[in-house]
């Protein structure tokens, strides 16, 4: 009997097992990368599992029927997916998670998990967890994926993918919507905190998650800023999932790059995370005598003592050894009279720079609705410089007439250090009252910047006097000067002997010079002068949502204190105040399209060194500005492709420009009012998961509309501002083949165009428009990728910017870069 029951039991079990099915699946992010430790739950049951390191999961012995899977992951939006399990069959699903917009503070600190051209979040615009499409202002960005695919190393190269952003020179020096923004004197942000750069060199991008620009003044949140826009550099943050990559690049101009990026947990509980970015770059240039060696060390550590608290410490150290390139000089008005390789340096010139940025930040959530953020950024910069450079004029003959093939030179010997501290604390609170949703930010900033006593500069320039020393040449008193015989094209003539040998564009005389032979004068009114300023700012911002309408109201009150005569017995405080409002609105027209509008005010105190320079023509009033902007923001293809259309009007008063006075290069003009009006279009994202696209275009009418009261300045009215092209745009696309025969192979193609530009406050010297074409090829096999980038395919001669025809900054001719990457 017992055998009969045993047989029946086995038969029933077999029938029951035969009626069950299996469910297997794979979880990935939008780029197709596996998501580890995502939780997969069968809705309405206690059955759940976590994905493996490869993103896979499995449920066995499921009864036939329909099931709802609920998938969640830290930093991702939860999703629900219905799947049907059939008898004696295996159901397979592939699920994709999107990064969570509502965990912005967490995501910004944890690090961006997306590996796409598109970015959905930015902390710079509102200091709240708000998707970009809900921000009433234009935000441009370039992610690390774009920079990697294009072989980009510096910020200037990255900004060609942004509408309305153009290089002013080859330095860390840009125009945004026609307004100049440089790292030496204009506000920049580093992880949302105020910093500066050394101006002479563009920042490297290997340790950056993305580069972003908030278009228009960001004063309502960050204090004084450029009315055109503010750059924010966002660093790579530690990730909870181990990742490691090595990259080696070599190419034109003897370029060698070694880059490394390591991240992951430091303990089993994953409460201590790290990231380490390393870089070594040794590159020469198409420009004579130019080179750049950089060592970059960027460690980052995150500590999570609880689910509600996170502490981050980030360091970026960059040691640079190079020469300072002051640009190309040409003869007369002929742009093509000298090679684009022409540089005025001596062989023994040098520029040594050390820069460090140390950030400490704490984020704590008192509750799911309330959090506090406390951060401190310390920036340090030191510079040691010897340079032979243009005096910005041609050498002269005995009658004082310019000799067009001789460029007068001067020598700078400079050592200086600068420091900046930014302490920031702000409180975020969200609330729901009836049908309205609220996001409130209240914060305080303290900023101080100093150049301590002990820096100094010596300058050698002018022409040698018979009595000793040197001075500017006075054609009415040639008897005071030494002369020598100069021969050119078989013609000899007597000309005054320069203190520093002039540069002969015919001979290209880059030689080893002896700086000890020059007559120097100490310079006190320049960037090496001891200076100190501080800024206190309090601000409040409310974001209100009622159905389809979202309102943003912000107000900041700043107190700016400049210590005039810093470290001298006559030191006094010069205090300025500013009230900076911001109002914006976003209205959801359709599920895919938002319309927005904004109005904000901005200001910038005049540079303390300029104010105290008796030769500048000051003192000068502070710069004031305002922005009015309307636009549309759209998402298409399930959010994979985003677009932004903006129309703007910016006005600024009291801007300083060089008077171009040959007898006083320090003399400045304060222009009454400038205006920039334009339209911008940006499209970024993926047409398909294997097809990425960036398209930008901008029209910018940036001109002076009021030149003040001096009759001599009225000719400046309606002139397009320097290095502000009216038209510019770009295109970049990357396609990865999916056919088995071409598996692992991808191609990239694109280009950018820039309209003609004026070089200074006159229309007599311009640089021509240009169009560049670039291409790339990629081949991935297992953990290796081989990449080839070819830039300027047509070998176009062009100039990215400049000051005048003695200080032009040409772009690179055709060049290539080969990169081998290993990810493990």
Average pLDDT over residues 59-75: 84
Q: How many CB atoms lie within 10 A of CB 124?
A: 22
Quote the tokens at residue 596: 């927005």
Q: How many CB atoms lie within 10 A of CB 604?
A: 24
pLDDT digits (tens, 9 = 90+) for 71-128: 877 667 778 899 998 888 888 999 988 765 444 444 455 555 556 899 887 788 888 8
The C-alpha atoms of residue 477 and residue 481 are separated, in whole angstroms, by 8
State yes or no: pLDDT of 562 exceeds 90: no
The C-alpha atoms of residue 168 and residue 174 are separated, in whole angstroms, by 5
The C-alpha atoms of residue 762 and residue 740 are separated, in whole angstroms, by 59
H-helix or E-strand spanning residue 359: strand 350-367
Least confident window among 19-23, 269-273, 785-789: 19-23
Asked if 317 and 296 count as a contact pair (C-beta separation under 8 A), the reply is: yes
State yes or no: pLDDT of 190 exceeds 90: yes
Report domain 234-238+258-459+522-823's class: mainly beta
pLDDT digits (tens, 9 = 90+) for 726-751: 999 999 999 999 999 999 999 999 99
Binned at pLDDT 50, 70 and 90, residue 662 comes out as: low
The C-alpha atoms of residue 404 and residue 282 are separated, in whole angstroms, by 35
The C-alpha atoms of residue 104 and residue 48 are separated, in whole angstroms, by 27
pLDDT of residue 13: 47
- Arithmetic mean of pLDDT over the chain: 89
pLDDT of residue 14: 46
Q: Which of 691, 688, 715, 712 is nearest to 703 (CA)?
A: 715
pLDDT of residue 308: 87
Asked if 443 and 538 count as a contact pair (C-beta separation under 8 A), the reply is: yes
CATH superfamily label, 2-97: Immunoglobulins (2.60.40.10)
- Cis amide linkage into residue 503, ω under 30° from 0: no
The C-alpha atoms of residue 128 and residue 429 are separated, in whole angstroms, by 9
pLDDT of residue 4: 47
Quote the tokens at residue 781: 């096999």
Asked if 563 and 572 count as a contact pair (C-beta separation under 8 A), the reply is: yes
| pTM given for the model | 0.85
Q: Which of 578, 597, 583 is nearest to 554 (CA)?
A: 583
pLDDT digits (tens, 9 = 90+) for 391-407: 999 999 999 999 999 99
Quote the tokens at residue 347: 């062989």
3-state secondary structure of 53: coil
Asked if 218 and 121 count as a contact pair (C-beta separation under 8 A), the reply is: no
Average pLDDT over residues 503-526: 87
Q: How many CB atoms lie within 10 A of CB 271?
A: 16
Positive or negative, the Cα torsion across 754, 676, 582, 444?
positive
Asked if 702 and 177 count as a contact pair (C-beta separation under 8 A), the reply is: yes
DSSP string spanning 783-797?
TEEEEEEEE-TT---
* Per-residue H/E/C for 472-538: CCCCCCHHHECEEEEEECCEEEEEECECCCCEECCCCCCCCCCHHHCCCEEECCCCCCCEEEEEEEE
Chain centre to alpha carbon of residue 258: 21
Q: How many CB atoms lie within 10 A of CB 21?
A: 19
The C-alpha atoms of residue 457 and residue 416 are separated, in whole angstroms, by 8
pLDDT of residue 233: 93
The C-alpha atoms of residue 409 and residue 502 are separated, in whole angstroms, by 5
State yes or no: pLDDT of 543 exceeds 80: yes
Between residues 719 and 611, the one the model is more confident about: 719
Least confident window among 151-160, 240-249, 525-534: 525-534
pLDDT of residue 15: 43
Quote the tokens at residue 251: 């190419």
Between residues 120 and 143, the one the model is more confident about: 143
Average pLDDT over residues 443-454: 93
The C-alpha atoms of residue 505 and residue 288 are separated, in whole angstroms, by 13
Asked if 666 and 684 count as a contact pair (C-beta separation under 8 A), the reply is: no
State yes or no: pLDDT of 807 exceeds 90: yes
User: What's the count of helices (H) and strands (E) in the chain, helices before strands?
Assistant: 6, 48
Q: How many CB atoms lie within 10 A of CB 664?
A: 11
Binned at pLDDT 50, 70 and 90, residue 331 comes out as: very high
Pairing label, strands 243-251, 815-823 = antiparallel
What's the farthest any 2 CA atoms get from each other in the chain? 135
3-state secondary structure of 777: strand
The percent of residues in the chain predicted with pLDDT above 90, rounded, is: 66
E strands of 158-240, at which residues? Answer: 165-167, 173-176, 179-182, 188-190, 193-195, 208-215, 229-235
Average pLDDT over residues 174-190: 83
DSSP string spanning 660-679?
--TT-TT-EEEEEEEEEEEE
State yes or no: pLDDT of 571 exceeds 70: yes
The percent of residues in the chain predicted with pLDDT above 70, rounded, is: 91
Common-topology check for domains 2-97 and 234-238+258-459+522-823: no
Positive or negative, the Cα torsion across 544, 550, 551, 552?
positive
Binned at pLDDT 50, 70 and 90, residue 179 comes out as: very high
Domain boundaries, the chain: 2-97, 102-233, 234-238+258-459+522-823, 462-505
Binned at pLDDT 50, 70 and 90, residue 57 comes out as: very high
Average pLDDT over residues 143-158: 94
Cα angle, residue 275 at apex, residues 262 and 112 outer, rounded to 5°: 100
> Where does 102-233 sit in CATH, by number?
2.170.130.10
pLDDT of residue 135: 93
Structure-token match 């470290």, residue found: 567
Asked if 515 and 411 count as a contact pair (C-beta separation under 8 A), the reply is: yes
pLDDT of residue 276: 98
Measured between its terminal Cα atoms, the distance across the chain in Å is: 62
pLDDT of residue 88: 82
Chain centre to alpha carbon of residue 688: 27
State yes or no: pLDDT of 752 exceeds 90: yes
State yes or no: pLDDT of 458 exceeds 60: yes
| The total number of residues written for the chain in this structure | 824
Residue 572 burial by Cβ neighbours in a 10 Å radius (0-12, 13-18, 19+)? exposed
Residues 6+ apart with CB under 8 A from 304: 270, 271, 272, 273, 310, 311
Pairing label, strands 762-767, 727-736 = unpaired
Residues 6+ apart with CB under 8 A from 648: 138, 177, 215, 216, 627, 628, 629, 676, 677, 678, 679, 680
DSSP state of 46: S
Asked if 488 and 331 count as a contact pair (C-beta separation under 8 A), the reply is: no
Burial 712-742 (b: 16+ CB within 10 A, else e): ebeebeebbbbbbbbebbbbbebbbeeeeee
3-state secondary structure of 551: strand
Q: Which of 250, 256, 338 is nearest to 291 (CA)?
A: 256
pLDDT digits (tens, 9 = 90+) for 335-347: 999 999 999 999 9
The C-alpha atoms of residue 364 and residue 540 are separated, in whole angstroms, by 19
3-state secondary structure of 614: coil
The C-alpha atoms of residue 390 and residue 396 are separated, in whole angstroms, by 14
DSSP state of 101: G
């Amino acid at each position: 009997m017992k055998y009969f029951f045993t047989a029946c039991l086995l038969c029933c079990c077999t029938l029951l097992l035969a009626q069950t099915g299996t469910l297997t699946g794979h979880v990935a992010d939008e780029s197709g990368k596996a998501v580890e430790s995502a939780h997969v739950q069968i809705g309405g049951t206690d059955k759940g599992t976590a994905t493996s390191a490869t993103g896979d999961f499995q449920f066995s012995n499921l009864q036939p029927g329909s099931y709802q899977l609920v998938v969640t992951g830290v930093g991702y939006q939860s999703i629900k997916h219905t799947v049907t399990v059939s008898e004696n069959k295996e159901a397979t699903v592939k699920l994709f998670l999107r990064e969570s917009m509502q965990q912005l503070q967490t995501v910004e600190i944890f690090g961006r998990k997306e590996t796409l051209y598109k970015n959905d979040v930015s902390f710079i615009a509102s200091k709240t967890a708000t998707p970009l499409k809900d921000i009433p202002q234009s935000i441009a960005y370039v992610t690390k994926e774009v920079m990697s695919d294009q072989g980009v190393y510096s910020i200037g190269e990255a900004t060609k993918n942004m509408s309305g952003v153009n290089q002013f020179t080859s330095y860390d020096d840009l125009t945004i919507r026609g307004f100049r923004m440089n790292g030496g004197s204009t506000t920049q942000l580093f992880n949302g905190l105020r910093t500066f750069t050394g101006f002479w060199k563009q920042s490297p991008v290997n340790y950056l998650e993305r580069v972003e620009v908030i278009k228009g003044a960001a004063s309502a949140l960050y204090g004084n800023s450029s009315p055109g826009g503010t750059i924010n550099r966002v660093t790579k943050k530690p990730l909870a999932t181990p990742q490691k990559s090595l990259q080696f690049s070599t190419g034109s101009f003897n370029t060698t790059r070694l880059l490394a990026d390591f991240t992951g947990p430091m303990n089993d509980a994953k409460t201590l995370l790290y990231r380490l970015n390393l870089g070594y770059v040794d590159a020469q240039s198409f420009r004579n005598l130019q080179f750049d060696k950089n060592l970059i060390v960027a460690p980052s550590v995150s500590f999570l003592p609880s689910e509600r608290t996170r502490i981050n410490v980030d360091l970026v150290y960059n040691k640079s050894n190079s020469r300072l390139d002051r640009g190309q000089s040409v003869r007369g008005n002929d742009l093509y009279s000298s090679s684009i390789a022409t540089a005025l340096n001596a062989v023994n010139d040098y520029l040594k720079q050390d820069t460090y940025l140390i950030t400490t930040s704490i984020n704590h959530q008192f509750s799911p609705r309330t959090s506090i953020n406390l951060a401190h950024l310390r920036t340090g910069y030191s510079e040691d410089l010897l340079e032979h450079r243009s005096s910005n004029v041609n050498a002269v003959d005995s009658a004082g007439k310019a000799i067009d093939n001789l460029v007068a030179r001067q020598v700078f010997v400079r050592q200086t250090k600068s420091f900046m501290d930014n302490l920031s604390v702000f409180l975020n609170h969200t609330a729901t009252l009836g049908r309205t949703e609220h996001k409130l930010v209240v914060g305080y900033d303290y900023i101080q910047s100093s150049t301590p006593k002990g820096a100094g500069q010596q300058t050698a320039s002018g022409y040698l006097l018979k009595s000793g020393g040197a001075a500017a040449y006075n054609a009415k008193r040639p008897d005071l000067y030494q002369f020598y015989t100069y021969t050119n094209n078989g013609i000899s003539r007597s000309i005054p002997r320069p203190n520093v040998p002039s540069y002969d564009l015919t001979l290209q005389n880059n030689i080893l010079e002896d700086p000890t032979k020059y007559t120097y004068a100490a310079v006190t009114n320049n960037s090496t002068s001891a200076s100190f300023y501080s800024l206190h700012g309090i601000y409040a911002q409310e974001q209100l949502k009622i159905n389809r309408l979202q309102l943003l109201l912000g107000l900041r009150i700043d107190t700016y204190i400049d210590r005039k005569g810093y470290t001298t017995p006559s030191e006094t405080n010069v205090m300025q105040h500013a009230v900076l409002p911001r109002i914006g609105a976003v209205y959801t027209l359709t599920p895919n399209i938002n319309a927005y509008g904004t109005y904000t005010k901005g200001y910038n105190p005049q540079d303390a060194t300029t104010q105290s320079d008796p030769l500048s023509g000051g003192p000068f009033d502070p710069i004031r500005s305002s922005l009015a902007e309307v636009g549309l923001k759209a998402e298409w293809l399930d959010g994979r492709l985003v677009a932004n259309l903006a129309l703007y009007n910016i006005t600024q008063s009291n801007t300083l420009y060089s008077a171009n006075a040959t007898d006083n290069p320090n003399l400045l003009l304060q222009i009454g009012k400038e205006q920039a009006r334009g339209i911008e279009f940006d499209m970024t994202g993926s047409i398909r998961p294997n097809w990425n696209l960036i398209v930008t275009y901008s029209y910018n009418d940036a001109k002076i509309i009021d030149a003040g009261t001096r009759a001599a300045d009225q000719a400046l009215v309606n002139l397009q501002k320097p290095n502000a092209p009216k038209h510019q745009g770009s295109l970049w696309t990357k396609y990865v083949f999916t056919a088995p025969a071409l598996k692992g192979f991808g191609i990239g193609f694109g280009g950018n165009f820039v309209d003609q530009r004026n070089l200074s406050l006159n229309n007599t010297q311009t640089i021509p428009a240009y169009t560049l074409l670039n291409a790339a090829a990629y081949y991935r096999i297992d953990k290796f990728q081989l990449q080839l980038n070819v830039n300027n395919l047509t070998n176009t001669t062009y100039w990215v910017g400049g000051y005048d025809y003695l200080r032009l900054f040409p772009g690179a001719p055709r060049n290539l870069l080969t990169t081998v990457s290993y990810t493990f």
